Chains A and B, each alone.
Chain A
Amino acid sequence: MSSSGILYFVVFCLALLAATRPLGAYMANVYEGKRTFLYPVLGWLERLVYRLAAVRQDTEQRWTQYAASILAFSLVSFLFVYLLQRLQAWLPLNPMRFGTAHAPANATQVTPPLAFNTAISFMTNTNWQNYGGEQTLGYFVQMAALTVQNFVSAAAGIAVAIAMIRGFARKQVNTIGNFWVDLTRGTVYIMLPLSLIFALFLCWQGVPQTLRPDVHATTLEGRAQIIAVGPVASQEAIKMDGTNGGGFFNANSAHPFENPTPLSNFAELFSILVLSAALCYTFGRMVGDTRQGWALLAAMAILMAVFFFVGYAAEQRGNPNLARLGIATRHSALQPGGNMEGKEVRFGIAASALWAGATTDASNGSVNSMLDSYTPLGGLVPLFNMQTDEVVFGGVGSGLYGILIYAILGVFIAGLMVGRTPEYLGKKIEKKEVKMAMIAVLVTAVIILVFPALSLELPFHAHGYWNPPGPITANFNNAGPHGFSELLYLFTSQSENNGSAFAGINGNTPWLNFAGGLCMLIGRFLFIIPALAIAGSLAAKKRVPATSGTLPTHGGLFVGLLIGTIVIVAALTFFPADSLGPIVEHFLMRQGRLF
């Protein structure tokens, strides 16, 4: 590790911290319906959306109606994205003529299984991609299908978090807000202005924004080079702000057109986590005690720092199998060194390792380096981050409702230890809340573990329908334990709605498209529905006054309890599976074993 790498991390944390309070307070005002400084500019747009969509701004919903609204909205979103992809041959703004006989020779066909997987992926804020953007989708689909979902799936995630906060903040009522209003406010007052400014910033740094077709160049040595361009900046901005992560190009934020400079990299990295960090403050404000929000943020920051340094150290130490060949891997004033396979020179090791951590702390899933080529421990960090249910900052909204579920489990476990009915923020945590929290945590764990096992056991035949390459191991890009890591990562990423990948694996087969799609659905909605059920149940409860027996939830003890709960639950669940992949690979790599 180098002092410049550590400085990078420190500056990054300070920048996040500085933005948390103003942005968090702004969001609290937006969702409480107060007039913010953007109201004079955008108020008309909010009202126009309500009028066009026939939404009544003043009605409130019970949790069941709120959940039904999200489900209905997601279903319609899925159908839109699916149909637009399948119909792209007939849509405008498709200069490369994807989906027709005139498409480039290396283009990927959008088959029904692939369109199914992609539609669910963008609707659930996962953005797993079994295709390479520049070889598959025309500009119209990238804009009207994918960019739209980047906005609304993020706004829907925040809406759920806000509904859950209301569950804690309100007392003895049976409503938790109005989904359509929360969705609109998030999109109009938060996502749109942030993305507009950020898109311009990114274009200034070098991200293209054009509707023209690919550029034909003749290189200095006289070779032909076709350079894919497109409306990248507008999609890149919301891809980061909304913790979406689906790249315009196959290489995602490693591509110089998605992430051209060290400064654009810092800004994109910042935008992965900033809304989720700020939501902690929003939470504190809305429940009337900002210390509660800072406590959550402290737990998140500690977990982020620990995992960052584990990953950074492993990547800087590099790959002994390459060092043996006479390659310099030490960081110096002239070179980044370390494990540079799959990494860009302009980012080096620290900014790549920090991205790998941040993108899986959040449910972002974008990458600025190829995780498949990470050292075993460097790759274990993003894998384990996802397995903690992405509550370290987490996706916009999903991180907050995720960590609140862990907070409920934490106070429940503490309550068991002292034999007292647990409370959190003055609400008694009883059977229903704990049951719902357990469903949310267990269901994702089950699918993460069952689907890789199932994929390995099912007898696929070469050239069959479900998995044409043959047995699932034929889809792997790497042999040995690393191949299993690719498969485990695939299902972990989709189940946790992350979207990053050990990208060597071929996921574009009917089986992996369907199974992955199913995991994304379960991972999203069997977390959201229990979260809303808890919100509804809590909103109906009285507030009990704190006594001397109440566990304070704003101090160091609670932060430790919360971290312990998160780490222990994930470690107990996933240690055996992780041992078969990255952990055993680590020891084999040090012995010099190759596969």
Chain B
Amino acid sequence: MWRQIIPAFRITLVFTLLTGLIYPPLVTGLCQLFFPYQANGSLIRVHGRVVGSALIGQRFTQPGYFHPRPSAAGNGYDAAASGGSNLGPTSRNLVLRVKAAVARFRNHNPDDHGAIPADLLTASGSGLDPDISLASAYAEAPRVAKARGIALARLRQFIHAHAALPWGGFLGEPRVNVLLLNLALDAAYPVKVSR
């Protein structure tokens, strides 16, 4: 084995150079050239200020905005500390957390009476899920419609227009991107949102 150490050392240096110090910067250059928006994190600017990334969820609490899923990333939607709750199916903490979320949801959405969609009360794997299911958006719609003074039927149409549906019937789930939907709402039905 010791006789092989010298070639091992040399080839490790060569591959470190090739795959570690040439390949990533080469990819960086090509990506920045061809896909600069994506390569820099799909950032969204409003009046020149970065308000977030189209791919990364963020917290919303005001009634006039759609709300995202619960998040276990840091203190919630911490995009520098991704992660899930990692609570198992027999975890008391999980059941208590979801029970509290059910109560909160009923409190904030008195006009929705159906069973609550599973995704809306469970924490995503990344803690940064940008989407909610279409069912979840419809469940929140009465609250948002009331807060913004829009007819519910019109808001449901609006949601549908911004939804992503499974491609080819199997690729992806029916969903809406919460940040993009809220941005579109602000543009189409502006309200004075308190900061």
Contact = CB atoms under 8 A, between A and B. Distances in A.
A348 interface: yes
B171 interface: yes
Contacts of A479: 91-92
Contacts, number: 432
A325 B82 contact: no
A263 B166 CA distance: 11
Interface in A192-225: 192, 195-196, 199-200, 203-212, 214-223, 225
Interface stretch (A49-57, A391-399, A554-562, A568-576): A49-57
A240 B36 CA distance: 23
Contact-residue size bin, chain A (C-beta under 8 Å from the other chain):
35 or more
B9 interface: yes
Contacts of A228: 79-80, 82
Contact of A343 (B6, B125, B183): B125
Nearest to B55: A256
A585 B89 contact: yes
A334 B23 CA distance: 42
A335 B128 contact: no
Contact of B125 (A7, A257, A321, A344): A344
B131 to A, nearest CB: 4
User: Chain B contact residues: over half helix, strand or loop, or mixed?
Assistant: mixed
A132 B81 contact: yes
A478 interface: yes
B119 A148 contact: no
Centre residue among A187, A263, A343 by max chain B CB count within 10 A: A343
Interface in B101-152: 102, 114-119, 121-136, 138
A109 to B, nearest CB: 15
A235 interface: yes
A72 B89 contact: no
B74 A132 contact: no
Contacts of A266: 171
Contacts of A588: 90
Nearest to B52: A217
Residue among A192, A231, A255 with max Cβ neighbours from chain B (10 Å): A255
B1 A71 contact: yes
A373 B23 CA distance: 36
Nearest to B91: A478
Contact of B31 (A75, A209, A260, A368): A209
A71 B5 CA distance: 9
Contact of A333 (B3, B7, B174): B174
Contact of B80 (A71, A135, A238, A344): A135
Interface of B: 1-16, 18-21, 23-28, 30-32, 34-35, 38-43, 49-62, 65, 69, 73-74, 77-92, 94-95, 98-99, 102, 114-119, 121-136, 138, 164, 166-167, 169-175, 179, 182-183, 186, 193, 195
Closest 9 CB pairs of A and B: A504-B86, A262-B172, A254-B125, A370-B84, A72-B4, A251-B82, A335-B135, A482-B88, A144-B20
Given A215-B53, A325-B102, A346-B172, 17 more contacts: A53-B14, A134-B81, A144-B21, A152-B12, A206-B42, A218-B51, A231-B28, A237-B27, A254-B124, A254-B126, A256-B129, A319-B89, A328-B115, A337-B118, A339-B122, A344-B131, A504-B87
Interface of A: 4-5, 7-8, 11, 45, 49, 52-55, 65, 68-69, 71-73, 75-77, 80, 104, 106, 132, 134-135, 143-145, 147-148, 151-152, 180, 183-184, 187, 191-192, 195-196, 199-200, 203-212, 214-223, 225-229, 231, 233-235, 237-238, 249-251, 254-257, 260-263, 266, 318-319, 321-322, 325-329, 332-348, 367-370, 372-376, 379, 477-482, 485, 502-504, 585, 588-589, 593-595
